[in-house]
Amino acid sequence: MSKSSKVYISELKDNVEKEITLSGWLYKGRSSGKVQFLVIRDGTGLCQCIVEKGNVSDELFEQLKKLGQESSLRVTGTVRAEERSPGGFELAVTAAEIVSAASDYPITPKSHGVDFLLKHRHLHLRSQRQWCIGKIRHTVIDAIRTFFNDNGFTLIDTPIFTTMAGEEQASLFGVDYFGEQLHLTQTGQLHLESAAMSFGKVYCFGPTFRAEKSKTRRHLTEFWMVEPEVAFIDLPGLLELAENFVSFIAARVLENNKGQLETLGADISGLENIKPPFYRLTYTEAVEILTGEKTKQFLASQLSELKKQKQQIEKTIAELEDRQGGKLKQWQKDKIAAELIELRGELTETETKIENNPKHAELSAEFRWGKDLGGSDETIISQMHDRPVFVTHYPKDAKAFYMKTDRNNPKVVENFDLLAPEGFGEIIGGSVREDDHDILLERIKHQDLNPDDYKWYLDLRKYGSVPHGGFGLGVERTVAWLTGEKHIRQCIAFPRMMDKVYI
Ligand code: 4AD
Ligand code: MG
């Protein structure tokens, strides 16, 4: 190999007209007789490499021509600016070294079903979509840490083995701990409250476990949650913290990941709109909206819009199927096949939405004060707003024991959920915490929890109790919302769901 310097694709802009070496994998290749176009990926981007017959040995030219997708290689050549190339640069190849030739890579451009891709997640991570989502997730996590570190919060690592329930008991994962029955943590909040009484402003950030029996697009059994907790804060203070926090994350993603958002087809102008103040509704107002005329009209016009969309997709599918019958080159056939799979997926999804619309209309019309908002209720409310919506003051009996009873209206608690816009639904849940010892004890008993398990937690209300509160933001839901990904399983490298733990 030549002595040219090793460069990453992300550094090509600083190496125009220089001879460099890229190390990576063959993403796709195409040959037109005397020229080959090899698209290489190296973890930082894609680069089209041009191999012209005569510029490399005939033997290498033939080897490269036969090289299978995802073979690893090093290529040396001169960097040229080229607008039409992915990334804006290309490499005029003068030498190449095949590191490991691959054949029959199972994930082809043909597109595959969700199940197949999940079973091949170890390889599917190399796809452009998964790569873009992974880069955005990285920014989200970095922004989360930066926001809290720069705003005077101290990181506290809360335990994963716990003795008590923080959220619904039904979603606890049991663990045999040397003969004793413990649980995997559902939230770090309770321990964090103890730390807030020492450090004032704290946060924890780690994996969280819920034995969720629901197989929805919003639920994983293992997910990442960040939870801030603040001493001496009230509900308006918490809402302000949450809207600044979420706006900061969105701004960082726009700043660092525009290219990836574009590749994913994310709603960039929608994200540019994510700035404080967010909308604020009480639960009671949300119920009025759900059961009111406006929602009825909204769902009716949505239904006719969906029906139009369905017709349009069916028309495009029919056209493509027609073209498929004609005489085409292999790459054109592959392209149409991939588009068809995508469109059929969209069609199924639109049909499901058409089917669900009347159910949602019925559910929302029949919604009665007292119930927790369900997935479809959240979807409707967030679809009706172009920025995130806070819903506050839920009925006490629909919510967790630790939430503070509103002293002005004891039927509700001082809590909030933050619903991401355009139908995405809840990404944050939080509250002011009950700080009165006796009221908290009463709530623990009322929810059939064992007061002995909460002795230390009750202690915090005995020794210098203060108004305090916090919230939890789910990383995968946030990434799904920002990227426009429909299912949160795509937003973590190795997802765990009720019925699926493949890899
Ligand atoms: O609303 P949740 O259950 O709130 C708590 O756990 C509080 N203890 C947080 C606090 O106040 N410190 O969960 C918070 C967030 C949800 O809004 C959602 O984004 C995410 O965690 N989440 C899930 N994400 C993926 N899969 C699941 N099964 C999730 N359950 C909750
Ligand atoms: Mg919640």
- Taking a 5 Å cut-off on Cβ, the residues next to ion ligand 2 are 429
Which among 440, 496, 502, 421 has a CA at the least distance from the CA of 222?
496
424 and 271 Cβ atoms separated by less than 8 Å: no
Q: How far is the CA of 210 from the centre of ligand 2 (A)?
A: 12
Would you give the distance in Å from CA 452 to the centre of its chain?
Answer: 38
What are the DSSP E strand ranges found in 42-132?
A: 46-52, 72-81, 89-100
CA angle at 263 for the pair 11 and 225, rounded to the nearest 5°: 90
Look at residue 3 in the predicted model and tell me its pLDDT.
Answer: 60
Q: Which atom of ligand 1 is nearest to the CA of 228?
A: 12
- Residue 189 exposed, middle or buried by CB count within 10 Å (0-12, 13-18, 19+): buried
Cα–Cα distances in angstroms (integers) from residue 84 to residues 32, 47, 118, in the given order: 17, 11, 33
| Per-residue three-class SS string for 284-345 | HHHHHHHHCHHHHHHHHHHHHHHHHHHHHHHHHHHHHHHHHCCCCCHHHHHHHHHHHHHHHH
Contact 223 CB / ligand 1 (< 6 Å) = yes
How high is the mean pLDDT in each 10-residue block of the chain (503 residues)?
77 95 95 92 95 93 95 97 87 96 88 86 95 98 98 98 86 94 96 98 97 85 97 98 98 97 95 96 95 91 94 94 85 81 88 91 90 88 92 96 97 97 90 98 94 96 98 98 94 92 84
Name the residue with the closest Cα to ligand 1, atom 31.
474
The CA distance from 146 to 152, in Å, is: 10
Contact 414 CB / ligand 1 (< 6 Å) = no
Contact 219 CB / ligand 1 (< 6 Å) = yes
**Helix, strand, or coil (residue 128):** helix
> pLDDT digit string (tens) for 265-314?
999 999 999 999 999 999 999 999 999 998 999 999 999 999 999 999 99
Q: Among the bound ligands, name the one nearest to the CA of residue 221.
A: 1
Name the residue with the closest Cα to ligand 1, atom 4.
429
Contact 428 CB / ligand 1 (< 6 Å) = yes
Q: How far is the CA of 187 from the centre of ligand 2 (A)?
A: 11
> pLDDT digit string (tens) for 443-471?
999 999 999 999 999 999 999 999 999 99
Q: What is the dihedral of CA 253, 254, 259, 261, to 10 degrees?
A: 70
Structure tokens at 216: 């929805």
Task: Report the number of secondary-structure helices (H) and strands (E) in the chain.
Answer: 15, 17
Buried b (16+ CB within 10 A) or exposed e, 205-235: beebbbebeeeeebbbbbbbbbbbbbbebeb
Q: How far is the CA of 451 from the centre of ligand 1 (A)?
A: 24
Q: How far is the CA of 125 from the centre of ligand 2 (A)?
A: 29
Q: Among the bound ligands, name the one nearest to the CA of residue 491.
A: 1
Look at residue 83 in the predicted model and tell me its pLDDT.
Answer: 85
- Residue 186 exposed, middle or buried by CB count within 10 Å (0-12, 13-18, 19+): buried
Name the residue with the closest Cα to ligand 1, atom 21.
474
Look at residue 170 in the predicted model and tell me its pLDDT.
Answer: 82
Handedness of CA 98, 99, 100, 105 (dihedral sign): negative
Name the residue with the closest Cα to ligand 1, atom 20.
474
Cα separation of the two ends of the chain: 37
Q: How far is the CA of 475 from the centre of ligand 1 (A)?
A: 9
CA angle at 414 for the pair 411 and 420, rounded to the nearest 5°: 115
**Helix, strand, or coil (residue 396):** helix
Q: Which helix (H) or strand (E) holds 130?
A: helix 128-150
Q: Probe ligand 1: pick from 477, 485, 488, max atoms within 8 Å of CB?
A: 477
Q: Probe ligand 1: pick from 162, 204, 225, 373, max atoms within 8 Å of CB?
A: 225
Buried b (16+ CB within 10 A) or exposed e, 371-389: eebebbbbbbbbbbbebbb
The CA distance from 193 to 433, in Å, is: 9
Contact 430 CB / ligand 1 (< 6 Å) = yes
The string of DSSP letters for 434-480 reads: P--HHHHHHHHHHTT--GGGGHHHHHTTTSS---EEEEEEEHHHHHH
Look at residue 1 in the predicted model and tell me its pLDDT.
Answer: 47
Name the residue with the closest Cα to ligand 1, atom 29.
219
Q: How far is the CA of 205 from the centre of ligand 1 (A)?
A: 12
Q: Among the bound ligands, name the one nearest to the CA of residue 203.
A: 1
Structure tokens at 51: 């191999």
pTM for the whole structure: 0.93
Look at residue 430 in the predicted model and tell me its pLDDT.
Answer: 98
